[in-house]
Amino acid sequence: MTQPSLPFVRLLPKTKPQAIRHGFPWVYANELVLDRRTKALAPGSLAVLQDADRRDLALVTVNPASRIAARVLDRDPAALLDETWLRGRLNRALSMRAALYDAPYYRLIHAEADGLPGVVIDRFGDVAVVQPNAAWAEAHLDILVQALVAETGVDCVIKNGTGRARGLEGLPEEMAVVHGRAPDGPVPVPMNGATYMADLMGGQKTGLFYDQRPNHAFVAGLSRGARVLDVFSHVGGFSLAALAGGAASALAVDGSAPALDLARAGAEAGGMADRFDTRQGDAFEVLAALAEDGATFDVVICDPPAFAPSKKALEAGLRAYERIARMAAPLVSEGGFLTLCSCSHAADLKRFRDASARGIGKAGRRGPLIHTGFAGPDHPQLPQLAESGYLKSLVFRL
């Protein structure tokens, strides 16, 4: 039975409803009847989704201006989106993270996979950073924050309204403290035996990338006594974990001076500053300069931003991943390890692996792939949504 106060939106006759019934969370604009009434709905409006035969399928949120015209909130068309409903979703996500981690530093909500489409929440102890990347979350931010505080007890909630996803939803960019008071400076985050410094108001994304945690740990296990090169290091993700794992030295390379400042602060906080160095510059230029100097390292990691953020950018992105592999491979000592990462959902695992292997081969190097890693369990994948499994990490022994 539908809620009489909600409008309905309907699938086009050519669109089969099985995907929605089987868990796919999106309805694209070319699958929905976009009549005058539907187009008049404000972005983020709630509606009941019906199939072409007017049978109710789900409670959805609608954004007629987005390529993703509707997002499934609940398979129950009569569900009520209020603070109680939001607390239920948050509680389910929180209980899983509490079972996985012994300290409250993790991704708490990973969008569709945690039942809150377009919403990302990262937790940093008593502070939470919310990215409301879908119009419905922006429209319901007040009760989302109330539910978040009630379930977690955090003292501060920061809204990070920046990034490409919000632009696709027609949302403006905005940073704001929406509950409590922001930290006076970077927040220390314990992870894999290292201490990372997260700038929650001015850093990239939410301030720290939790998704690489298991891949940091795997590479740290290879780094005992090693000389480590961490390219696209951000705040020292791989390099600080490697040092905590017993690396002899680590060089972090990034184009951002503020990120490297935070990496150095993390090294100092962990008592590892004497084994840590940084180099600011374009990654490709630094790799070329290191090769010209004849430098080699036992462990080399390249963890670039998304070179293929969309299908249109896929071919150019794959060429960039191949180039990175070709330039990094000569810097790996005989018997050393090369880790290559991609956070581009458009480049699936096979395409990324093939591009990496081509690059290594063109550099005149050979070696087996010894490990394939993905995002940690606080970044769960929705099996029906390939985009939720965006992160790939490949470790080669050259």
Give the model's pLDDT for residue 202: 85
Distance CA 24, CA 58 (A): 11
pLDDT tens for 134-159 read 999 999 999 999 999 999 999 999 99
175 φ/ψ angles, rounded to the nearest 5 degrees: -115, 130
* Residue 193, both tokens: 């035996």
The SS3 of residue 175 is: strand
Element (H, E) at 127: strand 127-132
Angle, alpha carbons 288-217-384 (nearest 5°): 95
Q: Is the pLDDT of residue 168 over 80?
A: yes
* Residue 215, both tokens: 């891949």
Whether residue 384 is contained in a domain is answered as yes
The range of the structural domain enclosing residue 28 comes to 8-74
Domain final residue, candidates 25, 47, 74: 74
pLDDT tens for 233-286 read 999 999 999 999 999 999 999 999 999 999 999 999 999 999 999 999 999 999
* Statement to judge: residues 275 and 357 lie in one domain: yes
Give the model's pLDDT for residue 4: 55
CATH number at residue 162: 3.30.750.80
Residue 11 DSSP class: B
The answer for residues whose C-beta is within 8 angstroms of residue 315's C-beta and 6 or more apart is none
* Statement to judge: residues 355 and 260 lie in one domain: yes
Give the residue among 207, 147, 162 at the shortest CA–CA distance from 182: 207
Q: How confident is the model at residue 223 (pLDDT cuts 50, 70, 90)?
A: very high
CATH number at residue 36: 2.30.130.10
Whether 275 and 248 have beta carbons less than 8 Å apart is answered as yes
* Statement to judge: residues 175 and 205 lie in one domain: no
State the angle between helix axes of 83-100 and 141-152 in degrees (0 to 180), rounded to the nearest 10. Answer: 40
* Statement to judge: residues 205 and 342 lie in one domain: yes
Percent residues over pLDDT 90 in the chain? 92
Give the model's pLDDT for residue 386: 84
Distance CA 335, CA 199 (A): 37
Rg over alpha carbons for the chain, rounded to the nearest Å, is 22
Exposure of 111 in the CB half-sphere (CA atoms within 13 A) = 20
- For the segment 350-365, the average pLDDT, to the nearest whole number, is 98
Whether residue 327 is contained in a domain is answered as yes
* Statement to judge: residues 151 and 239 lie in one domain: no
* Residue 203, both tokens: 């850093």
Q: Is the pLDDT of residue 393 over 90?
A: yes
* Statement to judge: residues 314 and 375 lie in one domain: yes
Q: Is the pLDDT of residue 194 over 90?
A: yes
Distance CA 325, CA 45 (A): 45
* Statement to judge: residues 329 and 378 lie in one domain: yes
pLDDT tens for 274-320 read 999 999 999 999 999 999 999 999 999 999 999 988 889 999 999 99
Active site residue 343: yes
Q: Which of 205-214, 329-338, 369-378 bottoms out in mean pLDDT, i.e. has the lowest? A: 205-214
Whether 234 and 304 have beta carbons less than 8 Å apart is answered as no
Q: Is the pLDDT of residue 16 over 90?
A: no
Give the model's pLDDT for residue 376: 97
Across 165-311, the runs of DSSP E, i.e. the strands, are 174-179, 187-191, 194-198, 227-231, 249-254, 276-280, 297-302
* Residue 30, both tokens: 């070319």
Give the residue among 100, 259, 113 at the shortest CA–CA distance from 191: 100
Q: Among 156, 302, 341, 343, which one carries the catalytic annotation?
A: 343
Distance CA 345, CA 377 (A): 17
pTM for this one? 0.94
Q: For the chain, first and last CA: distance in Å? A: 61
Whether residue 361 is contained in a domain is answered as yes
Whether residue 187 is contained in a domain is answered as no
Checking DSSP bridges between strand 156-161 and strand 174-179, what pairing results, if any?
Answer: antiparallel
Q: How confident is the model at residue 212 (pLDDT cuts 50, 70, 90)?
A: very high
Q: Is the pLDDT of residue 204 over 80?
A: no
* Torsion on CA atoms 70, 73, 79, 81, rounded to nearest 10: -100
Q: Is the pLDDT of residue 132 over 80?
A: yes
| Chain position carrying tokens 């100092």 | 268
Whether residue 191 is contained in a domain is answered as no
Domain final residue, candidates 29, 47, 74: 74
Domain final residue, candidates 179, 209, 225: 179
Whether residue 2 is contained in a domain is answered as no
* Statement to judge: residues 245 and 374 lie in one domain: yes
Within the chain, what is the greatest distance between any pair of CA atoms?
A: 72
* Statement to judge: residues 246 and 344 lie in one domain: yes
The SS3 of residue 283 is: helix
Give the model's pLDDT for residue 2: 45
Q: Is the pLDDT of residue 176 over 70?
A: yes
* Residue 33, both tokens: 């009847």
Q: For all residues of the chain together, what is the average pLDDT?
A: 95
Q: Is the pLDDT of residue 1 over 50?
A: no
> Computed from CA positions of residues 148, 149, 150, 153, in that sequence, does the dihedral angle turn out positive or negative?
positive
Give the model's pLDDT for residue 290: 98
Number of domains in the chain: 3
* Statement to judge: residues 124 and 203 lie in one domain: no
* Statement to judge: residues 105 and 170 lie in one domain: yes
Give the model's pLDDT for residue 78: 94
Whether residue 194 is contained in a domain is answered as no
Whether residue 3 is contained in a domain is answered as no
Q: Is the pLDDT of residue 395 over 50?
A: yes
CB neighbour class for 56 (10 Å; exposed up to 12, middle 13-18, buried from 19): middle
* Statement to judge: residues 67 and 92 lie in one domain: no
CATH number at residue 354: 3.40.50.150
